[in-house]
Amino acid sequence: MAGNWKMYKTAPETSAFFEKFIPLVSSADHCDIVICPPFVNLCTAVQAVSGSRIEIGGQNLFWAKEGAYTGEVSGPMLAAIGCKWVIIGHSERRQYFGETDETVLKRTQAALEAGLNPIVCVGEKLEEREGGRTEAVLSEQFAGGIAGLTPGQFAKIVIAYEPVWAIGTGKTATPQIAADAHRVIREQVRAKFGGDAASQVRILYGGSVKPENIKGLMAESEIDGVLVGGASLEAASFASIVNCQ
C-alpha cells in the first residue's frame, strides 16, 4: 500500500502526518506500507518512521550516479538517506517532464543498481481508452519501459497501473476495469518473463483510490495493492486504506 504525496506537504506537515499515522497502522502487518514524499522531506520522513514497518520512497530519480545534472537526484543519494523505494514513470512525469518508456527503463535500471525497489507506472489516457487502444498502450509501455530488464531485475520491481483518466479526477476505474488491465499487464509479463514471474509480480492500482472504494478494489485477486495520491495525504484516510483487509 503506497502513498504518492506528489508536490504536497512541508517538513513540519510531514512530521505531523507521521505522528498521527504511525499509531493508526501499528497492527497492519499484512502488507508493505510505503510513503513517497517530495525530495526535500525524505530525511524528515525516514527519521519519523524509524522503528516502524513503514518505508519511504522517492517520486523519481535520475539515472546517473552523480554528475553535472543541475536539479537532479540519484539512486545512491536516495539509498544513502534511507529510502527503500522509488516511483518511476508516473503519468505526471510523462505528461509534464518529458518522461518516455526509454527513460523509464534507464531510471528503473539505475534504481535497481542502487538497491531501491522501483514502482514502475503504466496507464492509458482517456482518448486512448475511448479509442480502444488500452491494450496496445499498455503493451507499448511494457515493451519499451519494462521488457528490457533482465529476469533478475524484473523480479524486484512492482508495477503500478494508473489509468490517467482516473488520477485526481474522482473517477476510479471499477474493480472490473482495473482487474482487466492488470490481466493484460500480467499476460505481457508471462510472455516475456514466464509464468512464475507473472504470478509473483505485484501490480498496484492507482487512480482516485479512497477509503470508500478500497474494499471493492482489493477484492479482485488481480489487484495486489494500491498507489494512492490525494487520499494518502490525510493520516486517517490513508490508514483506513492500509487497514482494509
Return the active site residues. 90, 162
**Whole-angstrom Cα distance, residue 110 to residue 240?**
33
What is the number of other CB atoms lying within 10 angstroms of the CB of residue 165? 19
For residues 132 to 171, the per-residue mask of contacts with ligand 13P, x marking binding by CB under 6 A and - elsewhere, is ------------------------------x----xx---
Residue 28 Cα distances to 1, 20, 82, 221, 241, angstroms: 11, 15, 21, 19, 11
Residue 212 Cα distances to 3, 198, 203, 218, angstroms: 16, 29, 20, 12
For residues 73 to 112, the per-residue mask of contacts with ligand 13P, x marking binding by CB under 6 A and - elsewhere, is -----------------x----------------------
Stretch that binds ligand 13P, among 69-77, 107-115, 125-133, 225-233 (CB under 6 A): 225-233
Q: Which of residues 230, 237, 239, 241 is near ligand 13P by CB under 6 A? A: 230
**What is the radius of gyration, based on Cα positions, of the chain?**
17
> What is the 8-class DSSP label of residue 61?
-
Q: Which is nearer to ligand 13P, 193 or 239 (CB)?
A: 239
Residues with Cβ within 8 Å of 201's Cβ and at least 6 positions away in sequence, in order, are 154, 155, 157, 158, 159, 186, 189
Q: Which of residues 74, 208, 213, 237 is near ligand 13P by CB under 6 A? A: 208
Question: 3-state DSSP call for residue 216?
Answer: helix
Q: How far is the CB of 32 from ligand 13P (least distance, A)?
A: 16
Q: Which of residues 173, 227, 239, 241 is near ligand 13P by CB under 6 A? A: 227
Q: How far is the CB of 134 from ligand 13P (least distance, A)?
A: 17
What is the number of other CB atoms lying within 10 angstroms of the CB of residue 62? 18
**Whole-angstrom Cα distance, residue 239 to residue 33?**
10
Q: How far is the CB of 191 from ligand 13P (least distance, A)?
A: 26
- Note whether 22 binds ligand 13P by CB under 6 A: no
Report whether 3 contacts 235 (CB < 8 A).
Answer: no
Cell numbers at residue 112, please?
535497481
What is the number of other CB atoms lying within 10 angstroms of the CB of residue 227? 26
Count of residues engaged in binding ligand 13P, rule: CB under 6 A: 14
Q: Which is nearer to ligand 13P, 214 or 231 (CB)?
A: 231
Report whether 63 contacts 110 (CB < 8 A).
Answer: yes
- Chain residue whose CB lies nearest ligand 13P: 229
- Note whether 37 binds ligand 13P by CB under 6 A: no
Stretch that binds ligand 13P, among 74-82, 110-118, 197-205, 227-235 (CB under 6 A): 227-235
Stretch that binds ligand 13P, among 94-102, 132-140, 188-196, 226-234 (CB under 6 A): 226-234
Binding site for ligand 13P (CB under 6 A): 4, 90, 162, 167-168, 206-209, 227-231
